[in-house]
Chains A and B, each alone.
Chain A
Amino acid sequence: MNLVTTEILKTNEVKPGYFLHDYNAPLMAKTSEPGQFIHVRVAAGPHPILRRPFSICSAKEDRLQILFRVVGEGTHLLSKVMPGEKIDIMGPIGTPFKIEHKPAVLIAGGIGCAPLYFLALRMKEANIPVRFYYGARSVSDLPLHEEINAIAGELNITTEDGSLGKKGLITDVLPDRLTQDFAVYACGPETMLHALKKILDAQGISAQFSLENRMACGVGACMGCVTRTISGFKRVCVDGPVFSSDDVVI
């Protein structure tokens, strides 16, 4: 883990309210793995006091990329920074996805596509076939669907309003049998992970879930970001963010 004040190379509002940021961070980019996050300082002054954690969306050469949606004060401030300005970032942090060498099913809900996009990039390099399932409320909430389409062997999209792909929820269009032949990775809202866990549990298979939570320290010190697991409260920041679906209590 490193803490650096570095340059913002590029900002791009890929869909209204969804931003891709590229930061110059050679050391972090080199050591980042899919599922890990960076902890970003959003204000120089006393408010907002907490950093914001964002999944790493890609890491290549000197560049580290995050994707975020403007949901509140912190992300609003972050969306206003410009290329050339400085940013204070800490990372990479957390337990990454464990990449299994068998065909992969990646299931993303909305902004949850960020770590799975990074994962799909790495799987492409490793020649692991990827079936990508990507759902959101509407086409305007599918920020990376074209990029994902370009790298995944198969992309299935659902939107709740039917504006792109099949109308409905992503958990409605999964393959009938998610067998042991596939490795399943997922990231999305709690409702999606809850529905997915039911499906997985019914079929007796497990997946890797990337969870999110509000965080204070981001390094495992404050115990603020815990989630329920079958073996008690675990810190999302360093015990996760990637957990086995068997362990999480959603």
Chain B
Amino acid sequence: MTDLSVKLGRLTLKNPVTVASGAYGYGAEYLTLYAPSLLGAVFLKGITPKPRAGNQPPRIVETPAGMLNAIGLQNVGIEGLLKDKLPALQGIEGCFIANIAGESIDEFVQIAEALENAPNLSGIEVNVSCPNVRKGGMAFGVSAKATEAITRAVRKSTSLPIIVKLTPNVTDIREIARAAEAGGADAVSLINTLLGMAIDIEKRRPLLGNITGGLSGPAIRPVAVNMVWSVSRAIKIPVIGMGGVRTWEDAIEFFLAGASAISIGTAVFQDPLSPLKILDGIQKYLEKNSIDSIKHLSEYLKKD
């Protein structure tokens, strides 16, 4: 029997396949297709203290083997999450993780505290990496000092496991990962999207209402694999790898690079069933190669 369970600090997932924040709404949007309990975890849409309208459209542009998005954290706010979205998940089994985004340390603390006794929540992902908002977001995630301070503050205000989501738009992502570790994170997740831009050459205008956006999808996978590889050897806490995972082969690459779990985002749009197909492929790969636990995959590149 292959062991697919993974430990992310105090959080245990039944399997290492998760869906990324922003791609899966508030956990109920894909319910008619399959049960979220089949997944290791579902990262819910990023939440701010107050509801946010988000950015001016157009918000998405397709790019070579990927897409740019500039949603701008449109969300229902903490109250909407607690009053509508989490109750809608009542009775639905699954490991649901909230993603929180503040414009200040106080706001992060405020959301974390509000979620303390929220039903149906297994953890908190601290979003210091959104590239599409003016205040907060990536502005924190490019600073090791701010990342550590926010992580520490959230750590103190919740008993839930916390995962810090990192931006790739930095000089050395290992520094930021070390700061999250020092601040008390149970795990880190990376990479959020790469800052990008696309221009309409006929109208001679940016294609996104926000001008710039975040690049995701298969196009960014090699960048993500490299960052997962370098971060996983710089810190002791587990890494959730993401960035262009579309097939089970892609997922295996991330585990070999050092990821304990993986997250699927853009590929869910192409095939909502891809998380289940990827999980199945991982299982078959492990069986075929007589590897009895997913945890062993990260050992292969250790010596390099």
Interface positions of A (Cβ within 8 A of B)? 1-3, 41, 43, 46-51, 74, 88, 90, 213-228, 232-233
Contact = CB atoms under 8 A, between A and B. Distances in A.
Nearest to B73: A223
Contact of A221 (B23, B61, B65, B273): B23
Q: Is the interface of B mostly helix, strand, loop or mixed?
A: loop
Closest 9 A-B residue pairs measured CB to CB? A221-B25, A46-B218, A224-B60, A221-B29, A47-B65, A46-B65, A223-B74, A216-B269, A219-B29
Contact of A224 (B24, B71, B268, B271): B71
Interface string B42-68: 000100000001100111111011110
Contact of A3 (B60, B65, B246, B272): B272
Given A3-B33, A46-B217, A49-B217, A223 B59 contact: yes
Nearest to B57: A226
A49 B74 contact: no
Contacts of B53: 232-233
A223 B71 CA distance: 7
9 contacts: A51-B269, A214-B62, A219-B29, A219-B30, A221-B45, A222-B71, A223-B71, A226-B54, A233-B53
Nearest to A236: B57
Contact of A49 (B22, B218, B273): B218
A220 B25 contact: yes
Chain B interface residue number, banded: 35 or more
Contact of A47 (B59, B64, B268): B64
Contact of B246 (A46, A48, A222): A46
Contacts of A233: 53-54, 57, 74
Given A216-B269, A221-B25, A49 B67 contact: yes
A221 B24 contact: yes
B266 interface: yes
Contacts of A46: 65, 217-219, 246
Contacts of A222: 22-23, 25, 60, 69, 71, 269
Contacts of A47: 64-65, 218
A48 B63 CA distance: 8
B67 A50 contact: yes
B185 interface: no
Nearest to B250: A46
Contacts, number: 100
B29 A217 contact: yes
A74 B270 CA distance: 12
B290 interface: no
A221 B65 CA distance: 21
Contacts of A74: 62
Given A49-B62, A226-B59, 18 more contacts: A43-B270, A46-B65, A48-B62, A50-B270, A213-B57, A214-B62, A215-B60, A216-B266, A219-B25, A221-B30, A222-B25, A224-B69, A225-B57, A225-B60, A226-B54, A228-B57, A233-B53, A233-B54
Contacts of B59: 223-226
A47 B60 CA distance: 15
A1 B246 contact: no
Nearest to B33: A3
A218 B29 CA distance: 10
Interface core residue of A43, A213, A224 (most chain B CB under 10 Å): A224
B283 to A, nearest CB: 22
B218 to A, nearest CB: 4
Contacts of B261: none
A233 B65 CA distance: 28
Nearest to B61: A214
A113 B24 CA distance: 32
B267 interface: yes
B208 to A, nearest CB: 11
Nearest to B75: A223
A3 B31 CA distance: 12
A5 B217 CA distance: 23
Interface string B119-149: 0000000000000000000000000000000
